Structure formats: structure tokens, C-alpha cells
Amino acid sequence: MKRLTALLLALLTAASLTGCEKEPESAELSLFAMDTYMTLSAVGEGGGEVLAEISRSINVLEQQFSRTIESSDVSVLNREGRISPDTDMDTLLRLAVQYSEETAGAFDVTIAPLVALWGITSDSPRVPEQGEIDALLPLVGSQHIHRDADVITLDEGCAIDLGGIAKGYASDAAAAIFHQSGLTRGCANLGGNVYVFSDDAVDTCWNVGIQDPQDPSGWVCTLALDDHFVVTSGGYQRNFTAEDGTVYQHIIDPATGAPAESDLLSVSVIAAYSGDAYAGTRADAYSTALYVMGERAAADLWREKNDFDMVLVTTDGRVLYTPGLADCFTEAEDSCYVYQQIAA
Ligand code: ADP
Ligand code: MG
């Protein structure tokens, strides 16, 4: 791990980056896209133009992946059951199916009918009857997505929701642009999907704070990283409280059709940038899946894959992290959590 010479705190869900050692040629840009606030920052000559390019690229992707934009590829596919996708949509759907298989269906973009039924992040969330859930569950599963030559079709009644993966894909696009830019440092904080960039020649890291799910103004730990994605999923930000006081959060367990009842408060997946391997997209899908799976199955999947790191915050007050993070991991001061490394 490189020496930490600049303390730059990318709070995972905060709207702005703070604690930045200002250098003369630095730029920042904020935007609202993909239903979240995003903050981009860059150090180096021409940083403003690079950030504008990243912002344009995110907006283009949103036009294709949004469920609420009627002309998007996703809306067309959900409405008409078929589409000749452009390259990004084609790639993202291929990856989505792959990650669904890798996570035994815990991540699945065909969850859309149940996301709509519960409407957790909509203006009118509600707790449906079990019969309504049972009627929709057969529509969930990546086997309902078919690819024939350059046409993608969905089985009758099925729909897709890229909310659990599209920001990850956008972070991969940001990473590619940073790498081609000639800048020395950059950061894209896409609402829970963070990518930090340091040019190889620069001896600096970013300090990425993992938000405390129980106190969103604080964090449970910081990670000193360069050229990595840090993607956090949890139930603590997008949820609704029913009349009886039950809190329902927005990640649905495809096995039950109901909001996942996880023993985790949050999952952060940390993955190194690796060219065009879509590490940010994968980290986004995995963070959603690992939340659904819970502590034990998440640790099992990590051991099986052995190619990413993670920080789990459990409902019983522990912060678990993989040994690969030991050198870059700093516990929060005065924390009431118990910190444990996950056994390999
Ligand atoms: P966020 O979008 O808040 O960063 P996630 O990446 O975990 O959080 O994605 C959650 C979103 O993904 C939900 O709001 C919904 O649109 C969709 N979703 C919910 N459950 C699943 C699931 N099991 N698999 C795939 N997508 C899901
Ligand atoms: Mg996700």
C-alpha cells in the first residue's frame, strides 16, 4: 500500500467530499443522476473537462438504464418484451445474468415486478398480501432473459430493474475516463458507489470512509486506497416504515419476494480496478447480493471467489473485514463496534 500523503475523505453517501488538501489545479462537479447525488473530483491539468466528460457519460447511461425514462432501453424491453440493445445495455445485461449465477440468484435484475409491488423507493410504498407476492415470484429468475443473435427478449410478464448494478457500470465508465485522462488523482462518488483514482506515479492514497449505518454522519472505518472501487449496500437509507412500525428496506430477497431480512446492516465490496474487467459493476452487484445472503453466506462466497475484499457491519454490532484490507484499514475512534477479521 502506498504511503498516505493526502487525506481525502470520500464519505460514501455524503453529497460532497471533505477534508481535501486543496491543490491549485483541482476541480469538483456535482450532479443528480440515477436517482442519487453524485460528486466527482479531480486533480491535474484539465480536470474540469475530464469531470464534464464523466458527467456526460453518466447521463448517457442513465438514458439507457432508467426505469422511469420511457424511451430508455430498459423501459422498451419491459414494455415490449424485446429489444435490439446497444453495446452498453447488451454488456450490462450479460454481466447481470453472470452475477446472478455467481450469487445463486441473490442478485437478480428480474426482481423488477417485486420491486414495483412493494414500491419501497416510490411515492406509494405498501406491504402487499402474500398472494400478490406468490403470483409474481415465478417471474423472477435470469432464465427469463433470452438472447438470440442481437435481440434480447423477456418472458411474458417479466421485467428488469438495473437499480442494483447501473451505478457500478457508471463507475467503471468513470474509471476508464480517469485512466485515459493523464490526471494525477480523481474520485467519483456515485451515491454509495465510490471509485478512487491515483496515477501510478503519484505516491498518494485516498481515505475512503465506510459510513456508520446507525449514524450516517459518522463512519465505522476508513480505508486508504488507490485505484479501487468501494461499493456499499444496506437497508439503512432507502426504506419505509409501515403503520405497525416495521421498517421495510429496498433490497428484495429473490427467494421470498420480500425485503431481505439480513443479519447485516451494510456490506461494502472493495475491488481493484483492472482494465475492462468491469470490477465496479461486479462490486455493485455483489454488494447487493451479499446483503441478501447475510454474514455466513457472504463469507463463504468471499472464500470461494477469493478476488475481492469486503467490510460487513452486522446487526449485532460487529465490523467484519477481510484480511486483504488489514494494511489499509483504520477503525473509527471511540467506536462502539467490535472489529474482527474474517477467517480465510
Ligand atoms: P443502491 O441502489 O441504493 O446503491 P443497491 O446497489 O444495493 O443499492 O441496489 C438496490 C436496488 O436494486 C433496489 O432499489 C432495486 O431497484 C434493485 N434491487 C432490489 N433487490 C435486488 C436484488 N435482489 N437483485 C438485484 N437488484 C435488486
Ligand atoms: Mg448494488
Nearest to 321 by CA among 188, 222, 235: 222
pLDDT of residue 228: 97
- Note the ligand closest to the C-alpha atom of 141: 1
Rounded to 5°, the CA angle 150-156-157 comes to 120
Contact criterion met (CB below 8 Å) for 269 and 310: yes
pLDDT of residue 19: 35
pLDDT of residue 8: 37
- 48 CA to centre of ligand 1 in angstroms: 31
* Residue type at 191 in one-letter notation: G
Kindly list the averaged pLDDT for each block of 10 residues, start to end, along the chain of length 344. Answer: 33 33 76 96 95 98 96 97 96 98 98 97 95 98 94 98 98 97 95 92 88 94 97 92 93 98 97 95 98 98 97 98 97 96 96
pLDDT of residue 201: 77
- 63 CA to centre of ligand 2 in angstroms: 19
Is residue 250 in contact with ligand 1, taking CB distance under 6 Å? yes
- 112 CA to centre of ligand 1 in angstroms: 10
Which atom, in ligand 1's list, is nearest to the CA of 120? Answer: 14
pLDDT of residue 24: 52
Cross-sheet strand order for the sheet of 193-198: 26-33, 36-43, 185-190, 193-198, 228-234, 264-272, 309-314, 318-321, 338-341
Nearest CA to ligand 1 atom 12: 164
